[in-house]
Amino acid sequence: MFDRIGEFLGQYLEFDRPERQAYVSQDFDALCEMLRVGDVLLVEGRAKISSGIKYLTQSTWSHAALCVSDQTSGAPCELIEVTLEEGCHKIPLTKYKGFNTRVCRAVSLDDDERKAVARYAEERIGLRYDKRNIFDLARYLLPFPPIPIRWRRRMMSFGAGDPTRAICSSLIAQAFQSVNYPILPTIEMSSAAGASKWHHREVWHIRHYSMFMPRDFDLSPYFAVVKPTIKKGFDHRKITWAEPEELANTEAEAGASSIPLGEGDTESGGNGQSQQVG
């Protein structure tokens, strides 16, 4: 019974709502050409669960996926992701055509390490989604009663602790930690044993993989943000801008086709759902 309820809940929360996306800036062809094995693709989701994650994390990015196959090998681009409904599985990059995305690339990794990161994720295909992690993340971000941030991680355990379960960002964090690559480590200054009190060294502490969120790959100073359009080659001098007369005519046509809204009315899309404005 609980499995059926979970399946229904997953379908409801992950139902895609394209009308929620006001503007798409992605150049999909450039993305396909530029994406490489080991890259992290952050996605601005449009489903109900995506809205909740974006609210909790105060970030544009609600989902993360790992590239495990790119066009340099002659194969289509493929990603590993973990979703509420399907768990850990492999998908084509085309699933996120029409979404706003960001590519985060780990610097200093060689080809063998990138393949090791991808292989780690592929070996975990079939894992189920760790639903408890979502509730624990919410408790961490919205604590009650209020607890200082520096104490929360020591007082809470994240997720079910079941090795057969994962979430999107935690699986990717584990994959990079498997090759000792940092994402957002805690760095402390510590006195070396037997040294003078003036001699200190940096000590890096690995954060537990379940504490990572999609935005952490964007915030990490060890991941480069790669923009496909710029990487492909962008020259503003080649842009053909609309003439002022054309722009005025376009605005006039748009204004004539719009229907004024009366007091108390709401703007809705073709399927009757309220459109997101702003």
Per-residue pLDDT of 40-80, as tens digits, reads: 999 998 776 666 667 766 788 989 999 999 999 888 999 99
Residue 100 has pLDDT above 60, yes or no: yes
Cα–Cα nearest to 130, from 159, 156, 153, 157? 159
Number of folded domains in the chain? 1
Domain membership of residue 150 (yes or no) is yes
Distances in whole angstroms, Cα of residue 34 to Cα of each of 107, 222, 226? 15, 19, 9
Domain that holds residue 212: 2-252
In a domain, 273, yes or no: no
How much of the chain, in percent, has pLDDT values that exceed 70? 57
- Residue 225 to residue 104: CA distance in whole angstroms: 5
pLDDT band at residue 195 using 50, 70 and 90 as cut-offs:
low
**3-state helix vs strand vs coil in the chain, percent to 5:** 40, 20, 40
In DSSP terms, 252 is beta-bridged to: none
pLDDT digits (tens, 9 = 90+) for 207-264: 777 778 899 999 999 999 999 999 888 898 998 888 887 777 776 776 665 544 444 4
The answer to whether position 162 is within a domain reads: yes
Q: Output the pLDDT for position 207.
A: 73
119 within some domain: yes
For residue 121, name the pLDDT band (cuts at 50, 70, 90): very high
Residue 105: pLDDT band (50, 70, 90) is very high
Signed CA dihedral, 31, 38, 129, 152: sign only: negative
* Alpha carbons 83 and 86: distance in angstroms, whole number: 5
- In this structure, is residue 87 part of a structural domain? yes
Tell me whether residue 265 is in a domain: no
Domain assignment present for residue 212? The answer is yes
Which of 137, 143, 142 lies closest to 169 in space, CA to CA?
A: 137
Give the integer Cα–Cα distance in Å for 203 and 187. Answer: 6
More confident residue, 202 or 26: 26
Residue among 190, 178, 277, 184 at smallest CA distance from 223: 184
Q: What per-residue confidence (pLDDT) applies to 45? A: 82
CATH value at residue 175 = 3.90.1720.10
Answer whether residue 145 shows pLDDT above 60: no
Task: Quote the pLDDT of residue 266.
Answer: 41
Q: Are 35 and 41 in contact (CB under 8 A)?
A: yes
Look at residue 278 and tell me if it is in a domain. Answer: no
CB burial of residue 119 (10 Å; 0-12, 13-18, 19+): middle
